[in-house]
Amino acid sequence: MTAPGAIKGGVRAPQRHDSGHKHVAGAATYVDDIPTPSGCLSVAFGLSPRARARIVSMDLAPVRAAPGVVAVLTEADIPGHNDVSPNAYHEPLLAEGGEVHFQGQPIFAVVAETHLLARKAARKALIEWEDLPAILTIDDAMAAESWFEPPYVMARGDADAALSAAPRVIEGVMEIGAQEHFYLESQAALAVPGEDGDVTIHCSSQHPTEIQHKVAEALGEPFHSVTVEVRRMGGGFGGKESQGNSLACICAIAAKRLNRPVKMRYDRDDDMTITGKRHDFRIAYKVGVDEAGRIQGIAFEQMARCGWSLDLSMPVADRAMFHADNAYYLPAVRIRSYRCRTNTCSNTAFRGFGGPQGMVAIERVLDHIAFELKADPVEIRALNYYDRPGGDRVTTPYHMEVEDNIIHELAAELIASSDYAARRESIKEFNAKSAVLKKGIAFSPVKFGISFTLTHMNQASALVHIYTDGSVHLNHGGTEMGQGLFTKVAQVAAECFQIDLDRVKITATHTGKSANTAPTAASSGSDINGMAVKNACDEIKARLTRFAAERWQTTPEQVRFLPGRVAVGAEEISFEDLASAAYMARVSLSATGHYATPKIHWDRPAARGRPFYYFAYGAAVTEVTIDILTGEYRFDRADILHDCGKSLNPAIDIGQIEGGYIQGLGWLTMEELVWDDAGRLRTHAPSTYKIPTASDRPDMTIRLFAGENREETIFRSKAVGEPPLMLGISALLALSDAVSAAGDGTVYPALDAPATPERVLRAVDHVRGRPWETRR
């Protein structure tokens, strides 16, 4: 029974993750941990070893003859659509038309008694190939104009005129590498066949509704035949928004065909080879500034490597454009975007969804301006920020007004609390004395737009039951991938009903309970699902209020939900007794909730509108040390101030900020994906693809900016999933600053990403006037 004062685990409480005690005991169940019904089979894909080729002949007899093989499936065995695309564009589940379009494309599927036997059999196909010309790189695609659509432009004002008139023009090109998600749990699905055409799917997916749709279409059944359940993922980061469709579909097809449960998980190397990554970009910029460094006009050419199929590349490339401004007012601007179609894996959603690439480019521009003007990069940034609300300089390149700008205050607070100015001076002194090691420091801000840019996706649904003992069953369309969404949303339900958090049962995402849902993506999880749950709770509360008022012969205004109890006039009744009494009076204790984000609209052809409900802000200062003989580096210190509005759960939010920063730092520094000249990915395992480890973490100070969301979001909080990733940009800029210190200050480092030790050494030698090139 709750103390009368406050509930345990309401909003604002630094509540622990709901599954923490299970995580540490190995008791939290992931897809591959689910005890399978007897007779469960495993699937593996046979993969294309070629980037683009025609299948001259294919002999699958050795696959069928391999030990433990039950069935081998090709495109001809798919009863419905051979398609796993998350959009209207076609993307085959299994290679069709006798052609393959990237190394790693699934050609056939082996169903076998075990995962290992399926993997072994899948390598036994005898295929004769005829290689076809492949388009592998951004260079190849730009030369061939191999694009998914004509270049898309976002513009405001006359950028060319502004550039012509500007006192100084600075140009550059930045290469921005791709990033592997490296969720620790690789993609996985389990299909259990049921009666009639039904199938139940357990999978590791951020988008159960899309899995439901794709499986139904692959089976040729209506959507109601497919039920999808997701309790949790072992990490998602966007990599499980669309990339799990193939596994769920093939398992369902095999399960229906063989009438046995079928599961699949990608071996890590297969996962890294098959699935899409964060898009690599090349961004060319031309910026005109006045003598003080204030931007007059700017033009960007953004080239995104999308891969062989469209997947989510259109909105990803759009979001790179939406964040080409970051926190800066661009008086005359043109952003042209090329969506390059290449014979490589189909790049996909990844935390930030194109935003990070757009943002790192404008940060590079600001850094470049400061270098050329020999000004402090912080001052140049401050000169270019959007005005405070009410100012003149508040309109984005997509004609949305920035109404909630807090970057001035936030940046000033961080600059002071991180002791930036004094440290910059002491670094100068250190560098003057140190021949081999050089230090660098950099500040970077973040302004990130919150909402799906496809407006219709900004909706959520929920289902809430109160049982007659007063315990609550909570369900909504959001999925749990570690971000603490389930905990936060349960806190919302606890807060609404004023009951302790442990009275709220968190349940797996389930398409039969909360239907027609959006993916858990775009940082929207707690914003939209929290609101849908609140709406459901409010509906039940309204019924309980009406019931109580009637029963106690008073008005609804006299009914108040207090911690663990309900006051009706002068009387108090426990929450559970009220629930029980309402049931006896035949009042429904269940409700669905729905939420649609207000205010947003987007006219894509005109590139105008208000695509975002609001912006989330943050800033970071990072200090690094480099070795100018080897290019190695370490991250010494990071200070972060981040805006979560009025946080629903500060502990979880700080966890998201730290994890996002380190993931962003990894993307821009040590995480390097390497494809060879034949289009084969050479870094397809953690042995060769290096995400940060514990010792790469700098000393970190993370604080939440005191404030609240000016928009009416769930308890005035702000989304936190993606924005902190871009705080990691400060790490790249700090490396660049340290590289500068190796030279005489006349040559801009132009440090590209990922800034591996090799890239850093090359930049060091570049600023020292001893340039060298690599062959790759």
Partner 1 sequence: MRDSLRFLLNDAPVELSGIDPRTTLLDWLREAQGLTGTKEGCNEGDCGACTVGVTRLEDGVPVRRAVNACIQLLPMLDGAAVTTVEAIAGPDRQHPAQAAMVELHGSQCGFCTPGFVMSMWAGYPDGPKPRAEVADMIAGNLCRCTGYGPILESGLAMHDLPAPDWEVDPAPALAAMDDGSLTLSGSGCTAFSPTTEAELAALVDAHPDAVIVAGATDVGLWITKRLDEPATLIFVNRVKGFDRIVETDTGLELGAGATYARAAAALGRLSPDLGELVRRLGSTQVRNSGCVGANIANGSPIGDGPPPLIALGAELVLRKGAAERTIPLEAFFLAYGKQDLAPGEYVSAVRIPRPADPAALKIFKISKRFDQDITATLGAFLIRVEAGSVASASIVFGGMAGTPKRAAAVEAALVGRPWTLETVEAALPAFAEDFQPMTDMRASAEYRLKAARNLLLKVFHESAETKPETRLVGAGALA
What residue type is 714 in one-letter code? I
Q: Which of 79, 569, 659, 707 binds partner 1 (CB under 8 A)?
A: 659
The residue among 120 and 718 lying less far from partner 1, judged by its C-beta, is 120
**Sign of the CA dihedral running 64, 68, 74, 79:** positive
Cα 404 to Cα 720: distance, rounded to the nearest angstrom: 16
Cα 5 to Cα 13: distance, rounded to the nearest angstrom: 14
Rounded to a whole number of angstroms, the minimum distance from the CB of residue 419 to partner 1 is 17
Cα 9 to Cα 68: distance, rounded to the nearest angstrom: 51
Rounded to a whole number of angstroms, the minimum distance from the CB of residue 545 to partner 1 is 36
The residue among 24 and 584 lying less far from partner 1, judged by its C-beta, is 24
Select the span of 23-31, 354-362, 387-395, 443-451 touching partner 1 (CB under 8 A). Answer: 23-31
Cα 726 to Cα 324: distance, rounded to the nearest angstrom: 13
Residues 91, 722, 758, 773: which is the catalytic one?
722
Rounded to a whole number of angstroms, the minimum distance from the CB of residue 53 to partner 1 is 23
The residue among 159 and 734 lying less far from partner 1, judged by its C-beta, is 734
Q: Which residues, numbered 151-210, are part of the site for partner 1 (CB under 8 A)?
A: 181-186
The residue among 197 and 757 lying less far from partner 1, judged by its C-beta, is 757
Tell me the per-residue interface mask from 80 to 119 with partner 1, x by CB under 8 A, - otherwise.
----------------------------------x-x--x
Rounded to a whole number of angstroms, the minimum distance from the CB of residue 287 to partner 1 is 31
Q: Which residues, numbered 213-242, are part of the site for partner 1 (CB under 8 A)?
A: 232-237
Q: How many residues bind partner 1 (CB under 8 A)?
A: 92
What residue type is 256 in one-letter code? K
Let me know: does 465 contact 216? Beta carbons within 8 Å.
no
Q: Which residues of 39-74 are buried (b: 16+ CB within 10 A; e: fewer)?
A: ebbbbbbbbbebbbbebeebebeebeebebbbbbbb
Other beta carbons less than 10 A from residue 579's beta carbon: 25
The residue among 570 and 772 lying less far from partner 1, judged by its C-beta, is 772
Q: Which of 158, 290, 627, 708 binds partner 1 (CB under 8 A)?
A: 627
Q: Which residues, numbered 668-707, are part of the site for partner 1 (CB under 8 A)?
A: 670, 672, 674, 682-683, 685-688, 690-697, 700
Q: Which residues of 746-771 are buried (b: 16+ CB within 10 A; e: fewer)?
A: ebbbbbbbbbbeebbbbbbbbbeeee
Let me know: does 44 contact 110? Beta carbons within 8 Å.
yes
Q: Is 409 marked active-site?
A: no
Q: Exposed, middle or buried by CB within 10 Å (0-12, 13-18, 19+), for 372?
A: middle
Q: ω before 754 within 30° of 0 (cis)?
A: yes
Q: Which residues, numbered 426-465, are part of the site for partner 1 (CB under 8 A)?
A: 434-437
List the one residue out of 672, 671, 664 whose CA is nearest residue 698. Answer: 664
The residue among 482 and 611 lying less far from partner 1, judged by its C-beta, is 482
The residue among 358 and 666 lying less far from partner 1, judged by its C-beta, is 666
List the one residue out of 28, 29, 26, 15 whose CA is nearest residue 502. Answer: 15
By CB under 8 A, tell whether 479 contacts partner 1. no
What number of CA atoms fall less than 13 Å from residue 271's CA on the CB side?
A: 21
Select the span of 20-28, 416-424, 588-596, 615-623 touching partner 1 (CB under 8 A). Answer: 20-28
Q: Which residues, numbered 515-544, are part of the site for partner 1 (CB under 8 A)?
A: none
List the one residue out of 445, 518, 455, 457 whose CA is nearest residue 485. Answer: 518
Q: CB within 8 A of 76, min separation 6: which ones?
A: none
The three-state DSSP-derived secondary structure of 571-597 is EEEEHHHHHHHHHHCCCCCEEEEEEEC
Q: Which residues, numbered 243-302, are part of the site for partner 1 (CB under 8 A)?
A: 265, 267-269
Q: Which residues, numbered 550-589, are part of the site for partner 1 (CB under 8 A)?
A: none
Q: Which of 466, 616, 756, 763 binds partner 1 (CB under 8 A)?
A: 756
Q: Which of 651, 703, 707, 747 binds partner 1 (CB under 8 A)?
A: 651
By CB under 8 A, tell whether 478 contacts partner 1. no
Rounded to a whole number of angstroms, the minimum distance from the CB of residue 654 to partner 1 is 8
Select the span of 3-11, 15-23, 57-65, 585-593 touching partner 1 (CB under 8 A). Answer: 15-23
Q: Which of 3, 4, 27, 128 binds partner 1 (CB under 8 A)?
A: 27
Distance (Å) of CA 221 to CA 58, 195, 256, 261, 686: 30, 13, 11, 18, 39
By CB under 8 A, tell whether 77 contacts partner 1. no
Tell me the catalytic residues.
Answer: 722
